């Protein structure tokens, strides 16, 4: 499914992306996240409990094979990345909360991912398809090193940090374009012949993640801006990281089948994220217009009462 050259390029690209993500983080972000923990706890609950549960539910609903289901669960267990921060910016979400969630989920992924996969991946694991926890831990360690390098660059020089961050974001877009151009053009015939079940898992992962994140936050009475942020953080997982982890952790022929859902997820999450962002941006404009109207009315009332 992915050639050796593509695997090598993907590995390098993900390292650059993770370095760029690290350049967005400071130790102050961790402290800031702890000052207002409620939105953070809601976001982490969505990320670490609801999204893996969504993946399991979609796998059963679409009757995916164990390998396909495991690929979907791996995507759900990955931390959110810089891409979700970018979409939150355009959607007028709470960017500080978005970065805090990315900070915590990335920093703790070395512990959280093996645990989450052991719990939510267990129904799809077998003698023929075992989750290689040792290789998984090693792969995560490899990709967390660039995060530390990015943080060190940011601490050393803020301008260098911004350049590293922008480079990581740009490379993240390149990864998506790279997969679209190389994989889709080479395997376009498979798109038409692929079962609808794969599409349900790949598209449903992002769409359901947006809905679950948003309404879970609303039920817990977060403000609308934070609800949009948690929604985007839940639906947009670090797909390139999932592919790189699968490449380093699994051997053929299991690797290709486990990789099937993450590739489709990356292809379609761009479209669903864009549409969701445009919708959220429209909502935010209405909220701002309503806020301005209330402010004007309050000033008029205050002036009349004098």
37-62 pLDDT, tens digit per residue, is: 888 899 999 999 999 999 999 999 99
pLDDT in the model for residue 75: 93
pLDDT in the model for residue 10: 67
Question: Taking residues 111-133, what's their average pLDDT?
Answer: 83
CATH architecture of the domain with range 4-305: Up-down Bundle (1.20)
pLDDT in the model for residue 20: 73
- Exposed, middle or buried, 168 (CB in 10 Å: 0-12/13-18/19+)? buried
Least confident of 68-77, 94-103, 158-167: 158-167
Residue 209 has pLDDT above 90, yes or no: yes
pLDDT in the model for residue 294: 47
What confidence category does residue 88 fall into, taking pLDDT thresholds of 50, 70 and 90? confident
Q: Which long-range CB contacts under 8 A does 173-179 form with residues at least 24 apart?
A: 174/13, 175/10, 175/13, 175/14, 175/17, 175/240, 175/266, 176/240, 176/266, 176/270, 178/6, 178/9, 178/10, 178/13, 179/263, 179/266, 179/267
Locate tokens 């701002």: which residue?
Answer: 288
pLDDT in the model for residue 296: 47
Instruction: Calculate Rg over the CA atoms of the chain.
Output: 20
What confidence category does residue 175 fall into, taking pLDDT thresholds of 50, 70 and 90? low
SS (H, E, C) the chain: CCCHHHHHHHHHHHHHHHHHHHHCCCHHHHHHHHHCHHHHHHHHHHHHHHHHHHHHHHHHHCCCCHHHHHHHHHHHHCCCCHHHHHHHHHCCCCHHHHHHHHHHHHHCHHHHHHHHHHHHCHHHCCCCCCCCHHHHHHHHHHHHHHHHHHHHHHHHCHHHHHHHHHHHHHHHHHHHHHHHHHHHHHCHHHHHHCCHHHHHHHHHHHHHHHHHHHHHHHHCCCCHHHHHHHHHHHHCCCHHHHHHHHHHHCCCCHHHHHHHHHHHHHHHHHHHHHHHHHHHHHHHHHHHHHHHHHHHHHHHHHHHHC
pLDDT in the model for residue 201: 92
Least confident of 12-16, 108-112, 238-242, 249-253: 12-16
Instruction: Please state, in angstroms and rounded to a whole number, the distance separating the CA atoms of residues 12 and 214.
Output: 34
Percent of the chain with pLDDT over 70: 74
Residue 156 has pLDDT above 80, yes or no: no
> Across all residues in the chain, what is the average pLDDT?
79
pLDDT tens digit string along 6-43?
666 667 777 777 777 677 666 666 666 667 788 889 99
Residue 191 has pLDDT above 70, yes or no: no
Residue 113 has pLDDT above 70, yes or no: yes
Residue 184 has pLDDT above 60, yes or no: yes
pLDDT in the model for residue 228: 93
What confidence category does residue 213 fall into, taking pLDDT thresholds of 50, 70 and 90? very high
Residue 93 has pLDDT above 70, yes or no: yes
Higher pLDDT, 265 or 168: 265
Residue 85 has pLDDT above 70, yes or no: yes
Q: Which two tokens stand for residue 20?
A: 């760029």
């Amino acid at each position: 499914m992915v050639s050796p050259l593509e695997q090598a390029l993907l590995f390098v690209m993900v390292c650059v992306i993770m370095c760029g993500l690290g350049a967005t983080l400071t130790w102050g972000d961790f402290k800031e996240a702890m000052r207002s923990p409620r939105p953070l706890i809601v976001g982490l609950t969505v990320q670490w409990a609801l999204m893996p549960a969504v993946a399991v539910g979609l796998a059963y609903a679409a009757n995916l094979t164990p390998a396909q289901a495991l690929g979907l669960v791996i995507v759900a267990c990955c931390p959110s990345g810089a891409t979700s921060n970018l979409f939150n910016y355009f959607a007028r979400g709470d960017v500080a909360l978005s970065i805090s969630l990315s900070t915590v989920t990335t920093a703790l992924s070395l512990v959280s991912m093996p645990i989450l996969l052991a719990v939510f991946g267990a129904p799809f694991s077998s003698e023929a398809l075992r989750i290689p926890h040792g290789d998984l831990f090693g792969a995560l360690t490899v990709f967390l090193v660039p995060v530390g390098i990015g943080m060190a660059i940011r601490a050393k020089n803020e301008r260098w940090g911004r350049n590293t961050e922008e480079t990581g974001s740009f490379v993240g877009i390149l990864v998506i374009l790279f997969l679209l151009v190389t994989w889709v053009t080479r395997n376009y015939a498979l798109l038409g012949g692929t079962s609808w079940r794969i599409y349900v898992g790949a598209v449903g992962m992002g769409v359901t993640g947006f809905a679950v994140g948003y309404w879970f936050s609303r039920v817990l009475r977060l403000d609308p801006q934070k609800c949009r942020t948690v929604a985007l953080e839940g639906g947009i997982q670090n797909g390139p990281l999932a592919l790189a982890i699968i490449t380093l952790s699994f051997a053929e022929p299991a690797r290709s089948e486990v990789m099937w859902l993450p590739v489709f997820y990356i292809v379609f999450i761009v479209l669903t994220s864009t549409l969701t962002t445009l919708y959220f941006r429209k909502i935010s404009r209405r909220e701002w217009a309503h806020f301005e109207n209330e402010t004007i009315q309050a000033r008029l009332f205050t002036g009349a009462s004098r």
